[in-house]
C-alpha cells in the first residue's frame, strides 16, 4: 500500500486522484462577532433573575422567624451556586458558536475561574440551611443534619451530589491533578454531571423560591433541560452524526521523530469538512482500551480528501496506545475545535512560535495562512530531531515569503528570551503572534511577546497539555 503524503512539494500518490486536482476541505467560517456579547448579556440577565427569585420568595415574617435569616442565606447561596454550576457545565458543552469565539483554552480558563464559586456557594447553602432548620426546630446542628438527610425528600441524593462536586473540585487542584492520570481525572470529573442531576429534584421540592411558585419551577426545569440537552447534543449526538458522515478509519501509522507518530486517516466526504489550520479534534479510537475515552490531538495538515492526518507525542498511556493502532481501526471524532486559527489575525503579517509538539498545530495553521503573510516561524526544540515536519514547514513558509528560525538546545543551556526573539523578528510589535506548545513554554512566550510591545489582542495561543 503506497504511503500517503502531505508534503507541499508532492501531489497525493493515488492514481485515481492524479487525473485531476485534489479537492480541498471546505474552509471554516469566521467566528460570529455578536456571539460573545449575546452570551454575556444572557448570563447576566439569568443571574439577576436568579437573585430576584430568591429575594422575592421571602417575606418579612419569614426572615424574622427563628432561623429565617440563615434559611434565606442558604436559599440564596444555593440558587446562585446552582445557576453558576449550570453555566460551568455549559462552558464545556462545546456549543459550536461559542467555542469558535473563545476556543478550548478560553472556555477552560473561564471554567476554572468559575468553578470555585458554585462549589463554595453550594457548600455554604448546605451549612446555612442546616443551621437555619436547627434554629427553627430548636435542635442541635448535627441532629438536624441527620434529620434532613434521613427524612426530607431527595435530601440523600442531594448530599451525595454535594460530595461528588467536592470530589471533582478537590481533584482539580493543580497539586493533586498533576499526580493523576488524565483518564482518572476525566472519569472523576464526569461525576459533576451526575452531581447536578442528583440535586435537581431536591431544589424544586424544597427550595422556597419554588414551593408554591409553579412558574419558577417551569423556568428552572427548562434551564436544567437546556443544559442537559446542550451536553447530550453537542458532546454526543453531533459527534456521532459527523462520524457516521465521514466514516474515518486508520489507514497508516508512521513515525515522525523519537516518540512522535502520525496517524493518517481515510474517510469520505472530507471535502465537506469545514476546518481551519490550527484546530483539533477529540479522537475516540474504537479499539480495545481506547473506545471509552476521547483525547484532543491537533490536525497536523489540512485535509487532502479522502485523507486526514493527526500527529501525537507519546506522553501517557493513551498517546502510547495510539502509536500501536492498526490500519482499519474505526474512529469517532468531536470537532473540529479551537480558535487558534487565521480568523484571529488582525495584522497583515504574523509570527508563529512553537515549542515541542506544538509544531503540529503550527504546521496546519501555516498551511492555512494567506500567501503574503510573510510568516516568521520560530521553532523551540531540545534536539534537532524533535523538529518534526521540518521540510514541510520550511516549504510552506517559503511559499508565503517567510523564514524559519530554530532555537535548539536544552532550556538551561540555550536561552529563549526577549532579545533572542527580537533579533529574529525586529518588527514583532507590528505582527500577530501565534504561540503553541506546552503550558510553561506558552506562558513564557506570551510574556516575552508582551514585553516586546505586541498588543494583547494580537497574541493568540494554544496550550498543549493535561
pLDDT by position in tens, the chain (length 466): 557 788 887 755 444 443 434 445 666 667 777 888 888 999 999 899 888 887 877 777 778 888 888 988 988 898 898 889 889 888 888 888 888 888 877 887 888 888 889 888 988 988 998 898 898 888 888 888 888 777 777 777 777 777 878 887 787 777 787 777 776 777 777 777 777 777 766 666 666 666 666 777 777 888 888 888 998 999 889 989 999 999 999 999 999 988 899 999 999 999 888 899 999 999 999 998 888 888 889 999 999 999 999 999 887 778 888 989 999 999 999 989 988 999 989 899 999 999 988 999 999 999 999 888 999 999 999 999 989 999 999 999 999 999 999 999 988 888 899 999 999 999 999 999 999 998 889 999 999 999 999 999 999 998 876 5
With CA atoms as reference, report the closest residue to 230 among 88, 47, 50, 84: 88
Can you give the residue ranges of every domain in the chain?
35-232, 247-337, 342-464
Q: What are residue 27's DSSP bridge partners? A: 275
Three cell numbers, residue 233: 447534543
| 244 Cβ contact list (under 8 Å, min separation 6) | none
Q: What are residue 311's DSSP bridge partners? A: 262
Domains 247-337 and 342-464 equal at CATH topology level: no
Class of 247-337 per CATH? Answer: mainly beta
Class of 342-464 per CATH? Answer: alpha beta
Helix axes 35-56, 214-232, angle to 10 degrees: 150
Three cell numbers, residue 372: 503574503
How far apart are the C-alpha atoms of 29 and 215, rounded to whole Å? 39
Torsion of the alpha carbons at 244, 245, 246 and 248, rounded to the nearest 10:
10
Amino acid at each position: 500500500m503506497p504511503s500517503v503524503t502531505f508534503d507541499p512539494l508532492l501531489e497525493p500518490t493515488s492514481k485515481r486522484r492524479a487525473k485531476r486536482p485534489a479537492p480541498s476541505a471546505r474552509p471554516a467560517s469566521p467566528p460570529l462577532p455578536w456571539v460573545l456579547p449575546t452570551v454575556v448579556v444572557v448570563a447576566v440577565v439569568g443571574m439577576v433573575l436568579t437573585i430576584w427569585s430568591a429575594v422575592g420568595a421571602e417575606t418579612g415574617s419569614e426572615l424574622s422567624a427563628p432561623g429565617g435569616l440563615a434559611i434565606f442565606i442558604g436559599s440564596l447561596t444555593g440558587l446562585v451556586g446552582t445557576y453558576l454550576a449550570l453555566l460551568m457545565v455549559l462552558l464545556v458543552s462545546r456549543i459550536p458558536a461559542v467555542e469558535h469565539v473563545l476556543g478550548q483554552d478560553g472556555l477552560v480558563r473561564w471554567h476554572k475561574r468559575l468553578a470555585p464559586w458554585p462549589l463554595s456557594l453550594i457548600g455554604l447553602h448546605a451549612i446555612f440551611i442546616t443551621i437555619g432548620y436547627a434554629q427553627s426546630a430548636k435542635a442541635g446542628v448535627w441532629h438536624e443534619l441527620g434529620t434532613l438527610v434521613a427524612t426530607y425528600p431527595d435530601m440523600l441524593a442531594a448530599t451525595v451530589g454535594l460530595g461528588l462536586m467536592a470530589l471533582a473540585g478537590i481533584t482539580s487542584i493543580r497539586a493533586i491533578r498533576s499526580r493523576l492520570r488524565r483518564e482518572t481525572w476525566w472519569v472523576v470529573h464526569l461525576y459533576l454531571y451526575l452531581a447536578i442531576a442528583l440535586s435537581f429534584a431536591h431544589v424544586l421540592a424544597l427550595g422556597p423560591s419554588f414551593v408554591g411558585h409553579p412558574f419558577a419551577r417551569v423556568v428552572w426545569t427548562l434551564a436544567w433541560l437546556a443544559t442537559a440537552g446542550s451536553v447530550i447534543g453537542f458532546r454526543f449526538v453531533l459527534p456521532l452524526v459527523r462520524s457516521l458522515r465521514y466514516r474515518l478509519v486508520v489507514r497508516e501509522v508512521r513515525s515522525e521523530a523519537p516518540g512522535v507518530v502520525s496517524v493518517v486517516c481515510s474517510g469520505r466526504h472530507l471535502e465537506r469538512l469545514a476546518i481551519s489550520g490550527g484546530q483539533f479534534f477529540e479522537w475516540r479510537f474504537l479499539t480495545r482500551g481506547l473506545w471509552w475515552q476521547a483525547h484532543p490531538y491537533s490536525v497536523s495538515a489540512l485535509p487532502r480528501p479522502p485523507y486526514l492526518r493527526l500527529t501525537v507525542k507519546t506522553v501517557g498511556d493513551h498517546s502510547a496506545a495510539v502509536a500501536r493502532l492498526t490500519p482499519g481501526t474505526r474512529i469517532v471524532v468531536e470537532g473540529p475545535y479551537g480558535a487558534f486559527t487565521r480568523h484571529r489575525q488582525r495584522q497583515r503579517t504574523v509570527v508563529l512560535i512553537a515549542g515541542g509538539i506544538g509544531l503540529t498545530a503550527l504546521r496546519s495553521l501555516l498551511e492555512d495562512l494567506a500567501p503574503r503573510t510573510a510568516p516568521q516561524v520560530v521553532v523551540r526544540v531540545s534536539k534537532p530531531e524533535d523538529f518534526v515536519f521540518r521540510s514541510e514547514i520550511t516549504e510552506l513558509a517559503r511559499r508565503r515569503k517567510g523564514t524559519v528560525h530554530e532555537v535548539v538546545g536544552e532550556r538551561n543551556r540555550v536561552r529563549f528570551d526577549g532579545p533572542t526573539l527580537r533579533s529574529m523578528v525586529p518588527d514583532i510589535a507590528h505582527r500577530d503572534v501565534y504561540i503553541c506548545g506546552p503550558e510553561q513554554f506558552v506562558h513564557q512566550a506570551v510574556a516575552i511577546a508582551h514585553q516586546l510591545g505586541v498588543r494583547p489582542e494580537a497574541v493568540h495561543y494554544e496550550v498543549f497539555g493535561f
